[in-house]
Chain A
Amino acid sequence: MLEAGAPPRRARFTDARIEMAHGAGGKASRRLVEGLIAPAFANPALAPLADAATFLIGGARVATTADGYVVKPLRFPGGSIGELAVNGTINDLAVSGARPAAMMASFILEAGLASEALRAEVEAMARAAERAGVPIVGGDTKVVEHGMCDGMYVTTFGVGVVDERLVLDPRTVRPGDRVLITGPIGDHGITILLARGELDLEADLRSDTRPLWPFVEALLATCAPRLRWMRDPTRGGVATALNELARDCGLGIALREDDVPLRREVRGACEVLGLDPLHIANEGQLLAIVAPDDAVAALDALRSVSGGEDARIIGEVTAEHPATVVGVNGYGGTRAIDMLVGDPLPRIC
């Protein structure tokens, strides 16, 4: 089964059909990408399968990313599909250490969509782009028949230049490194779930969608050359992101469960629904791995950014239990924390 220290096995994709789980951001998504898509395109820039691809163009290390948005409903407390699309692409570049330079947007619209709905999204995107200081420089629009794409789907593409001081690579991670997060987890996923109105649940929650570049900038100023790894834990949650890191670096991660920031309402909703907050999507949080000596300064840097007041150190990298994420609770009880399996919350982003 899990062999201590063994290199990750190449995934094989043998599923006869595509299912919702393949889009959930967990194990099935990983198998689809690693087993079917990546091998077909195989090339060095693709190989790391990180949030953004980086490669050299004329001496500059360029990062580029693409993200599709199929969230349902289109509008929800704290944001909308357009805002997610803009922030999401900015964040994929940011966690790759690249200041976002420009974006493009592709729209697939359903015939019958109210123009006002489209206008609202386009305006939300414009506001989000302006807030982040990233121009939307082009894109594409297509229309499909009524019944074919649930209102609208948006895909955004972004490009930036990676900060020269950075070597973001799982292979630089060492035992003793600390795991940091910018704020409470699970807000986005639970907000979407409640906004669907299919469950008889109400709570005062908003999506946490926001651009993460200010946080990355703060970390770069503090510890750029020694910053090991960053990720924005979207689909699949913190658990999936950390499992991917553990797998990629071959080390263990010990998470102090009581230290993970979590709003009361998210906790309550998860308890009622039998969900684990660590598997719920976030759209405005940053996970970072820093060297032990940088941990306090990095935490202060994150907290000094507006909206970073709840940043915490939530765990550390360890030589024990290789390639496994383990949760430790207040009385020393431990449990393995796995990647997301299945798709408890479909079309979350």
Chain B
Amino acid sequence: MTNGMKYVDEFRDPALIDRVATEIRRVVDPQRHYRIMEVCGGHTHSIYRHGLRDVLPHNVELVHGPGCPVCVLPTGRVDDGLAIADHPEVVLTCFGDMMRVPGTRGTPLERKAQGADIRMVYSPLDALKLAQDDPSRHVCFFAIGFETTAPSTALTILRARELGLDNFSVFCNHVTIVPAMRAILDSPDMRLDGFVGPGHVSTIIGCRPYEFVARRYRKPVAVAGFEPLDLLEGILMVLRQLAAGEAKVENQYRRIVPWEGNVPALRALATVFELRPYFEWRGLGFISQSALKIRDAFARYDAEARFAVPGVRVTDPRAAQCGEILKGVLKPPQCKLFGRECNPEHPVGALMVSSEGACAAYYRYARVEEAAGA
């Protein structure tokens, strides 16, 4: 039975993976312990899903970064979204990941079971279509994501305006990756040797935005794709730079990522969004110029302009160490709640339920070691 997928399977070729793994082993200094951060939650997920730690030498440690947009969303913002859903005329739409994220009074899925009209969509365009199909309801799209996803929201808002819709809005929680990377680099707890850069964010913003990491902080960056071969090649690039004493930005994901980014996407972002002066990130605190807000010109499509939201700051439960895990200071099993009070069925924090959350990746894929008693 053939079920090949082009541009996927070639990058899962065991023979090539073996070659890169061998080269990695050749390049590393056995006396040195390397700490390389993969910024993007999708990379974390891929590393565990494909068992890549089994092919990396033990002295190459992958540190999980905060690139999970659902994970970094503070509980108070989840509550705000659910408050919008409380309006009887509202249909709240969100990606599947959001459905099981805990708010103060329950997850969107639990609220749905209690009668709130909350629906899962796979695209903001699905939400737009719902609005077109039912003018008697107001469809609100709970937008989350980094620069990978923000242009899609922007185009959807532009389309809503073209169609002259009045029953559609976006609750915007898009965040940007560079300020988070800077916050990690400036954090006193951090000792990192290099970065695997976020491949899909970079399809939009290109590779230039990471040059500050190389110039100011003297750390290598390899922007990498998500298949096993991509991640391993990206790690190899970082290790080679370290061996040569270099620090620059390299593009591993050349078949997809343009160095200059996607100009129509950046234009759409600039048209529809502006930067919030500051935004709170779980684990990283308030970061300035790190999140997107819908411009006044599009206020008609801004859920925060059309609905009042409580805007209450909610701190994480004290025992939960979501913040430390997001910064890479702790690994998921080091959180006291991991696998006990906090598990995918009853999550305390979003990291356990998001498809890009480090805790979810660990819980789903990495428990082999625990089961074997390692």
Q: Do chains A and B touch in the complex (CB under 8 A)?
A: yes
Q: Which residues of A contact B (CB under 8 A)?
A: 1-2, 4, 17, 19-21, 27-28, 184, 199-200, 252, 261-264, 266-268, 271, 273-274, 310, 320-324, 326-336, 338, 341-342, 344
Q: Does the CB pair B364–A336 fall under 8 Å?
A: yes
Task: Indicate the member of B1, B18, B54 with the most A CB atoms within 10 Å.
Answer: B1
Complex Cα spacing A267 to B5, Å:
9
Of A310, A324, A330, which contacts B368 at CB under 8 A? A324
- Of A267, A321, A323, A341, which one neighbours B3 at CB under 8 angstroms? A267
A273 with B122, Cβ < 8 A, contacts A1-B339, A1-B340 known: yes
Interface contact tally, CB-CB below 8 A: 108
With contacts A261-B1, A271-B5 taken as known, whether A329 is within 8 angstroms of B50 at the C-beta atoms is yes
Cα A322 to Cα B373 in complex, Å, equals: 9
CA A292 – CA B8 in complex, angstroms? Answer: 34
CB nearest to A16 among chain B residues: B110
Q: List 6 A-B contacts (CB under 8 A).
A: A2-B339, A261-B1, A264-B2, A327-B51, A333-B228, A334-B54
Question: Are the C-beta atoms of A330 and B339 separated by less than 8 Å?
Answer: no
**Bound form: Cα–Cα A170–B5 in Å:** 37
Q: How far is the CB of B117 from chain A (nearest CB, A)?
A: 15
When distances are taken between beta carbons in the complex, the residues of chain B under 8 Å from A252 are 371
A1 nearest in chain B by CB position: B339
Please state if B96 and A333 are interface contacts (CB–CB under 8 Å). Answer: no
When the two chains form the complex, which single residue of A20, A261, A271, A274 contacts B355, counting CB atoms closer than 8 Å? A274
Q: For the complex, is B100 an interface residue (Cβ under 8 Å from A)?
A: yes
Bitwise interface map of B from 112 to 128 toward A, beta carbon under 8 Å scored 1, else 0: 01100000001000100
Q: Distance in Å from the Cβ of B59 to the closest Cβ of chain A?
A: 19
| CA A25 to CA B359, docked complex, whole Å | 23
> CB of B370 within 8 A of chain A?
yes
B371: which of A184, A329, A336, A341 is its contact (CB, 8 Å)? A336
Check A333/B122 contact, CB under 8 A, given A19-B110, A342-B344: no
Q: Of B49, B50, B113, which one neighbours A19 at CB under 8 angstroms?
A: B113
- State whether B113 touches A20 (Cβ < 8 A): yes
Cα separation A310 to B3 with both chains bound (whole Å): 13
Q: Which of B28-75 contact A (CB under 8 A)?
A: 48-52, 54-55
Chain B residues lying within 8 Å of A2, measured Cβ to Cβ, are 339, 367, 370-371
Please tell me if the beta carbons of A333 and B367 are within 8 angstroms of each other in the complex: no
Say yes or no: is B365 at the interface (Cβ < 8 Å to chain A). yes
Given known A262-B3, A267-B5, A342-B100, contact A332–B51 (CB-CB < 8 A): yes
Contact across chains for B1 and A310 when beta carbons are under 8 A apart: yes
User: Cβ of A323: which chain B residues have Cβ within 8 Å of it?
Assistant: 371
Are B372 and A321 in contact, with the CB atoms below 8 A? yes
Chain B residues in the interface with A (C-beta under 8 A): 1-5, 8, 12, 14, 17-18, 21, 48-52, 54-55, 96, 100, 109-110, 113-114, 122, 126, 228, 338-340, 344-345, 355, 363-368, 370-373
* Residues of B contacting A268 in the complex (Cβ-Cβ under 8 angstroms): 5
Query: What 6 pairs between A and B have smallest CB-CB spacing?
Result: A333-B51, A1-B339, A324-B371, A331-B14, A335-B365, A321-B371
Q: Residue B4 contacts which of A264, A324, A326, A330 (CB distance < 8 angstroms)?
A: A264
By the criterion CB–CB under 8 Å, are A344 and B4 in contact? no
Which of chain A's residues has its CB closest to B367's CB?
A336
Determine whether the beta carbon of B371 is less than 8 Å from that of A335: no
Q: Which residues of B contact A263 (CB under 8 A)?
A: 1, 3
How distant is A328 from chain B, measured CB to nearest CB, in Å? Answer: 8
B152: shortest Cβ distance to chain A, in Å? 14
- The answer to whether B54 touches A332 (Cβ under 8 A) is yes
Residues in chain A near residue B14, CB distance under 8 A: 329-331
Cβ–Cβ contact A341 & B1, under 8 A? no
Report how far A342 CA is from B343 CA in the complex, Å: 12
Q: Is the CB of B340 within 8 A of A331?
A: no
Given contacts A1-B340, A335-B51, contact A184 B366 (CB under 8 A): no
A170 CB → nearest B CB, Å: 17
Q: Give the residues in chain B near A326, CB-CB below 8 Å.
A: 368, 371
A91 to chain B, nearest CB (A): 22
Partner of A4, one of B12, B54, B371: B371
Counting chain B CB atoms within 10 Å of each CB, the highest count among A19, A184, A268, A322 belongs to A19
Extra 7 A-B pairs, beta carbons < 8 Å, given A336-B367, A342-B109: A1-B367, A2-B370, A199-B122, A331-B21, A333-B55, A335-B368, A344-B96
Contact between B1 and A334, CB atoms less than 8 A apart: no
Contact yes or no, B50 A333, CB < 8 A: yes
Distance, CA A263 to CA B5, complexed state (A): 11
Q: How far is the CA of A329 from the CA of B13 in the complex (A)?
A: 11
Residues of A near B113 (CB, < 8 A) are 17, 19-20
The residue in chain A whose Cβ has the minimal distance to the Cβ of B113 is: A19
Contacts of A184 in B (CB 8 A): 1
Given contacts A273-B122, A324-B368, A341-B344, contact A334 B373 (CB under 8 A): no
Q: A19-B113, A331-B228, A344-B96 are in contact. Are A336 and B122 (CB under 8 A)?
A: no
CA gap between A268 and B339 in the complex, in Å: 31
Q: How far is the CA of A324 from the CA of B370 in the complex (A)?
A: 10
Given the contacts A267-B3, A329-B50, A334 and B344 also touching, CB distance less than 8 Å: no
